[in-house]
A and B are shown apart, each in its own frame.
Chain A
């Protein structure tokens, strides 16, 4: 199918849905819908939903329109959020709390008690970062970047060492053989199997991420076992997350069929 035919198909499909909705409303099936104040917004939201969904077929003018609108509006929104949620309370709120409280916004309580000198450092770094826009000396903008990268790596070192390293060890320090009063040989076989899979699965996965030796022979076999453990875990996670995504799709379908077209009762 050539480009023009594709375009006709997409335009036709979206147009068909919109015409159906118009006829449906003309027949009085969407009467309650029209009297609500959000009618125009819902029509526009439905149009944008259909435009984004048209991506499933191919790139087309509707998708491009929705894409550009989404990017433009969200970029503007985040800029405003950055000014009013970060710059005003966290920077100006520390440097001039009285002025901010009187003219701009309520300074959060947690900001009031923080040292002003840190805000001054941040202000200077921010200005240096904007030096990039100056006609000369753009290399100055590299300094605040170096500070940001160094600070991020340094502060995250301890945080990740705790959350991704030491905290993961404690749950693995478990008895490998679980006792049971009633089971055969006095051993809880299911509990024991779970413990063995947990501990040796974890060790095998760790060996997969060991880069200093060649994964050959016994080590290669253990490493292969580790990748199997990882893949089984990923499979379970995949299924679980896809269910969540289906719920999101159902949400959009509900909007189209319940809120917009009112083909299905709420």
Chain B
């Protein structure tokens, strides 16, 4: 009986011990991420370093955490090395991280820590530095296309300034501007000009203010009243300069009043509430909306419609054009807004610019025709050379 008892005791008490030991032994630490490199991101202004590594073969890796430390650099050689700072964490399978707020001329140390449920392993420390490049090579074809358009713009400007008459087709909405201002003068009511709700860094605002120059000159000549509510302080400042200049050119500086261009608020719907209230109270004869608009487009145009004003709108916001088309008498769509000031003023520089842009459109139309025909033939004939033409257009030229 002793032997079975001893065996039973061994199985019951002693045998599980190695098993338990095995279960409670610390898990095998993951192998540290290998092949770690810190590379300058190419074609940028020198604010990014890409840290690359190879995924750890350890199956239990849950994440990789990237750390950086700043080393003394060219700009501050005496600066001490800073402690490690976490840049972020990525999941298993990921093999890179871009440190996008690097300072130019500063060397950084990087390490990648692979973490499992209960252990971690540091990679070897690597150093890297971000450098600025003068040229973004990925945009070579943008340079070619933009350069070609600019060359044609310059060419047409030269032709126009030498007296060559440049033809521009009739734009109905712009023909109506003088008529609308004349109507306001006859009715003794003001003209309201809304230059959109974006700031001076938006080209539509710039186009709107250029048009404001023409409109305010006409208003000054007719001696009508002008009201320009704006939603950005810089637009107000620029708008005042534009209107003042227009009144000077019209020979009526005494009629200019700074309050013609006035600020309401930056808040989109607060601005709408203000302009709408103003429209109802002042009942202007003419409302011009020229610039970048968002959800306020229909709110403004509907109110203008309700008071019976002649309304001319112009915007390049595709989502708002339908509302202006529905509620206004005339709408300048997209490029027509940018063409407006050239069309109205007849200024050779602006007309030349407009003609140059038409060359850009010709390039695009040619590329679309060539590309789609080449794509069709490549699909049906299996021609590799035609497919390479399509790939070149899609992946190199128009990216």
A257 to B326, CA, bound (A): 32
A130 to chain B, nearest CB (A): 10
Within 8 A of A (CB), among B374-399: 375-376, 378-380, 390, 393-394, 397-399
A97 to B322, CA, bound (A): 48
Within 8 A of B (CB), among A135-179: 141-142, 145, 148-149, 151-153, 155-158, 160-162, 165-167, 169-170, 172-179
Contact B266 A78 (CB under 8 A): yes
Contact B237 A157 (CB under 8 A): no
Q: In the assembled complex, which residues on chain A have CB atoms less than 8 Å from the CB atom of B145?
A: 161, 165-166
Stretch at the interface among A11-19, A25-33, A55-63, A88-96: A55-63
**A129: nearest chain-B partner, CB-CB:** B237
Q: Which of B139, B333, B369, B372 contacts A230 (CB 8 A)?
A: B333
- The 0/1 profile, CB within 8 Å of A marked 1, for residues 275-316 of chain B is 011001100000000000001001000000000000000000
Residue of A112, A145, A169, A238 ringed by the most chain B CB atoms within 10 A: A169
A178 to B378, CA, bound (A): 12
A184 to B338, CA, bound (A): 47
Contact A179 B380 (CB under 8 A): yes
Closest 7 CB pairs of A and B: A74-B267, A173-B371, A234-B322, A74-B270, A78-B266, A238-B322, A169-B398
A178 to B390, CA, bound (A): 16
Q: Which of B103, B141, B241, B368 contacts A199 (CB 8 A)?
A: B368
Contact B394 A158 (CB under 8 A): no
Q: Which of B368, B375, B380 contacts A169 (CB 8 A)?
A: B368
Q: Which of A55, A74, A112, A203 contacts B368 (CB 8 A)?
A: A203
Contact A152 B368 (CB under 8 A): no
B105 to chain A, nearest CB (A): 10
A211 to B266, CA, bound (A): 35
Contact A113 B265 (CB under 8 A): no
Q: In the assembled complex, which residues on chain A have CB atoms less than 8 Å from the CB atom of B399?
A: 166-167, 170
Q: In the assembled complex, which residues on chain B have CB atoms less than 8 Å from the CB atom of A177?
A: 376, 379-380
**A52: nearest chain-B partner, CB-CB:** B273
Supply 19 A–B pairs (Cβ within 8 Å), ascending by A.
Answer: A55-B277, A59-B281, A75-B266, A75-B270, A112-B101, A156-B201, A158-B146, A161-B146, A165-B364, A166-B141, A173-B375, A203-B369, A206-B364, A210-B362, A211-B355, A212-B169, A212-B355, A235-B322, A238-B322
A205 to B319, CA, bound (A): 16
Stretch at the interface among A34-42, A64-72, A98-106, A258-266: A64-72
A211/B354 contact (C-beta < 8 A), A64-B277, A75-B265, A145-B237 known: yes
Contact A63 B277 (CB under 8 A): yes
A72 to chain B, nearest CB (A): 8
Whether A109 sits at the interface, judged by CB under 8 Å, is: yes
Q: Which of A75, A141, A153, A238 contacts B326 (CB 8 A)?
A: A238
A156/B146 contact (C-beta < 8 A), A75-B265, A172-B372, A177-B376 known: no
Whether A21 sits at the interface, judged by CB under 8 Å, is: no
Whether A183 sits at the interface, judged by CB under 8 Å, is: no
A-B contact count (CB 8 A): 196
Majority DSSP secondary structure for residues of B touching A: helix
Known: A161-B146, A173-B393. 4 other contacts (CB 8 A): A58-B280, A71-B264, A209-B335, A237-B321
Contact B206 A153 (CB under 8 A): yes
A116 to chain B, nearest CB (A): 11
Q: In the assembled complex, which residues on chain A have CB atoms less than 8 Å from the CB atom of B393?
A: 169-170, 173
Q: In the assembled complex, which residues on chain A have CB atoms less than 8 Å from the CB atom of B354?
A: 211
Contact B103 A67 (CB under 8 A): no
Contact B101 A67 (CB under 8 A): no
Contact B203 A160 (CB under 8 A): yes
Contact A175 B200 (CB under 8 A): no
Contact B146 A152 (CB under 8 A): no
Contact B277 A59 (CB under 8 A): yes
Whether B347 sits at the interface, judged by CB under 8 Å, is: no
Contact A238 B323 (CB under 8 A): yes
Within 8 A of A (CB), among B68-98: none
Total chain B interface residues with beta-carbon distance under 8 A: 76
Which residues of B are at the interface with A, using a C-beta cutoff of 8 A?
Answer: 47, 101-103, 139, 141-142, 145-146, 167-169, 171, 200-203, 206, 234, 237-238, 241, 263-267, 269-271, 273-274, 276-277, 280-281, 295, 298, 318-319, 321-323, 325-326, 333-336, 339, 343, 354-355, 358, 360-362, 364-365, 367-369, 371-373, 375-376, 378-380, 390, 393-394, 397-399
A165/B373 contact (C-beta < 8 A), A156-B203, A235-B322 known: no
Q: Which of A75, A199, A209, A238 contacts B336 (CB 8 A)?
A: A209
**B370: nearest chain-A partner, CB-CB:** A173
Q: Which of B47, B274, B378, B394 contacts A67 (CB 8 A)?
A: B274
Contact B264 A213 (CB under 8 A): no
Whether A202 sits at the interface, judged by CB under 8 Å, is: yes
Q: Which of B203, B280, B335 contacts A59 (CB 8 A)?
A: B280
Q: In the assembled complex, which residues on chain A have CB atoms less than 8 Å from the CB atom of B372?
A: 172-176, 195, 199
Q: Which of B146, B321, B375 contacts A234 (CB 8 A)?
A: B321
A230 to chain B, nearest CB (A): 7
Q: In the assembled complex, which residues on chain B have CB atoms less than 8 Å from the CB atom of A203?
A: 365, 368-369
Q: Which of A110, A145, A169, A179 contacts B238 (CB 8 A)?
A: A145
**B390: nearest chain-A partner, CB-CB:** A173
A211 to B322, CA, bound (A): 22
Contact A148 B234 (CB under 8 A): yes
Q: In the assembled complex, which residues on chain A have CB atoms less than 8 Å from the CB atom of B360?
A: 165
Contact B394 A170 (CB under 8 A): yes
B84 to chain A, nearest CB (A): 15
A153 to B338, CA, bound (A): 13
Q: In the assembled complex, which residues on chain B have CB atoms less than 8 Å from the CB atom of A213?
A: 167, 169
**B106: nearest chain-A partner, CB-CB:** A113
Q: Which of A63, A158, A174, A214 contacts B375 (CB 8 A)?
A: A174
Contact A176 B139 (CB under 8 A): no
A207 to B333, CA, bound (A): 13
A132 to B270, CA, bound (A): 27
A153 to chain B, nearest CB (A): 6
